[in-house]
Amino acid sequence: MLSNGWLSFPFCVHLVCMTLIAVSSSAIEAIGFDGYTLSVKFYTSDTVYEHHGCPESLFEDFMNAPSMGEFYNQYIRNQFQ
């Protein structure tokens, strides 16, 4: 558990690891950010979706969004590779 009370767990792809933070969302299970790549894990899939080139300000807005699912669809989905 992180100092802010969020639950976290490691996620590794191609020998690169990132901590995913469990979030309070009906659609999104956890997200992670390493300063460049935003990773998103949905409840409906075992896949972790990576969005490279995501600015930190967008990650912060995402973490504070009233609806993470709506925010993802409007500002992140299909916007980053």
Domain boundaries, the chain: 8-76
Q: Give 18-68 pLDDT, tens digit per residue.
A: 788 999 999 999 999 999 999 999 999 989 999 999 999 999 999 999 999
**What SS3 state is found at 61?**
helix
Q: Torsion angle, CA of 27/32/37/39, rounded to 10 degrees?
A: -30
Q: Which residues contact 60 (CB under 8 A, 6 or more apart)?
A: none
Q: What is the total residue count of the chain?
A: 81
pTM over the 0.85 mark: no
Phi-psi region of 68 (alpha: psi -120 to 50; beta: other; left: phi over 0): alpha
Residue 24 structure tokens: 């309070």
